[in-house]
Amino acid sequence: MALVNKLKIENFDKEVLREYDIRGIVGDNINENTAYTIGRTFGYTVLNRLKSNIIATGYDGRLTSPDLHQALCKGLKDSGAKVINIGMGPTPMTYFAHYHLKADAVVMVTGSHNPSEYNGFKMVLNKHSFYAHDILSLQKLIDQKELESMEGEIIHKDIKENYVDRLLKNINLNKKIKIAWDVGNGAMGAVIKEVIKNLNNSENILINDKVDGNFPNHHPDPTVPKNMEQLISIVKEKNCDVGLAFDGDGDRLGVVDNLGTLIWADQYMLLLCSEIANLYKNPKIIMDVKCSKVFFDEAKKLGCDPIMSKTGHSPIKEKMKELESPLSGEMSGHVCYADDFFGYDDAMYVALRLLRILCSQENSLSELINVYPKTFSTPETRFDVDETKKFLIIDEIKQRIQKSEVKIIDIDGIRVENDEGWFLMRASNTQNQLTCRAESTTQQGLKSLIGIIENQLSLSGVNYKFTI
């Protein structure tokens, strides 16, 4: 994709302005003019809110990212910004630039965990997530025609060494550990060799570490079991203590135990909580509405104060600031530390904290996880519905279920708890989909919950059957 000769401000396609970021298919509803327009509008916003606009930028390893990033930087420069281009790397490195370079804001060009044809933009302003109404405000600036052209500058700065040094600060592994890493051909490949080279007491096996925007080995989303099959095989074959996987831009962590079993975020979060509970008195731990009831029950036993939040890394990070929480997470693998870190989602830092915990224990990862109660659950199940009806369907179901003797939590969709367990039904903020998940302490209980979900969907005109 060659950069167009003359970039211009143009209206956003309404499909790309998502709840947490700007994202779409390159060549369809995302192009260089989109990137340029983001630069002009976001640069204007930063200057008007802060009276200063030093903005750090980076991009991931997708084939379309360099050209989109170039157009973004041009737009920021034309808004009068001093742009600090840190180059290609994972999203958390760009977040790090916010603090390390004392920037007013950052923009990351990334398609995150989406397929290769996608790309997008994640923004942070004055150390706060830029999302929801903030993103919608960019189109309003275009409508108001107030975007004055100004002359800024673009400089280049390599901070990879600084980033790696910060990741490894206070990370000491006090016994030998064998680790398999699946980089997924994503942007974490830009720094991972430097990390493991300086990680003491570790034997490391790297797979898919070459950055490749085609993602030739598997889709870069570690929350999908199929994408973890290669890592599971390596862990078993090489007798590793743990397997760790990243998504396309390095802000989601997938975990495999020593037996080759997938360990979901609400499971390994309990290990992270056990360490935090020893550092703070009754720390507030935030976890999203999709996670297991086991997490909330066991976190309380550890001495934590677990708080259920709506899904999404952006609102969770803001909730952390509000409650001064040292740790938060969500089922998608976004985990944020604010005790000895900056409060944003960095999958490599979380991996290192997990390794430190494992090296402080005599038991294996599988043994540590197996002490928690066993449940039967569906995977997070997504299916397409009419975009215009997705929220209406959830509202209809809520109205019907309210007539039953059940507990309903409606902070994000509806989470319904009864004697059998619980289930969640919510409309996606980013796609024309509904998301469902159910969990019970028995197989029969799970079947009962699934029956309720399928019946409620049917009453709202949606025919969907679970396969478990």
Active-site residue, from 52, 65, 79, 112: 112
CATH of the domain at 133: 3.40.120.10
Half-sphere exposure of residue 334: CA atoms within 13 angstroms, side-chain side: 22
CA distance 158 to 89: 10
Residue 175 DSSP one-character state:
S
In terms of DSSP H, where are the helices of 244-362?
265-279, 293-301, 313-323, 347-358
> Where does a domain end: 329, 354, 369?
369
CATH of the domain at 400: 3.30.310.50
Residue labelled with tokens 């279920």: 401
Burial class (CB in 10 A: 0-12, 13-18, 19+), 211: buried
Indicate whether 147 and 169 sit together in one domain: no
Indicate whether 416 and 394 sit together in one domain: yes
- The answer as to whether 310 is a domain residue is no
pLDDT, tens digit (0-9, with 9 covering 90-100), for 35-60 = 999 999 999 999 999 999 999 999 99
Burial class (CB in 10 A: 0-12, 13-18, 19+), 38: buried
**Domain count along the chain:** 3
Q: Assess contact for 74 and 148: CB atoms under 8 A.
A: no
Q: Assess contact for 420 and 406: CB atoms under 8 A.
A: no
Token pair in block for residue 436: 């469902």
112 labelled catalytic: yes
pLDDT at position 4, please? 47
pLDDT at position 430, please? 67
pLDDT at position 3, please? 47
pLDDT at position 2, please? 43
pLDDT, tens digit (0-9, with 9 covering 90-100), for 379-404 = 888 888 888 899 999 999 999 998 88
- The answer as to whether 291 is a domain residue is no
CA distance 114 to 110: 9
Indicate whether 230 and 351 sit together in one domain: yes
pLDDT at position 247, please? 97
From the list 324, 323, 349, the residue with the least C-alpha distance to 334 is 349
pLDDT at position 15, please? 86
Indicate whether 363 and 427 sit together in one domain: no
Indicate whether 436 and 385 sit together in one domain: yes
Domain span at 230: 162-281+343-369
- The answer as to whether 430 is a domain residue is yes
Q: Which residues of the chain are under the pLDDT cut of 50?
A: 1-4
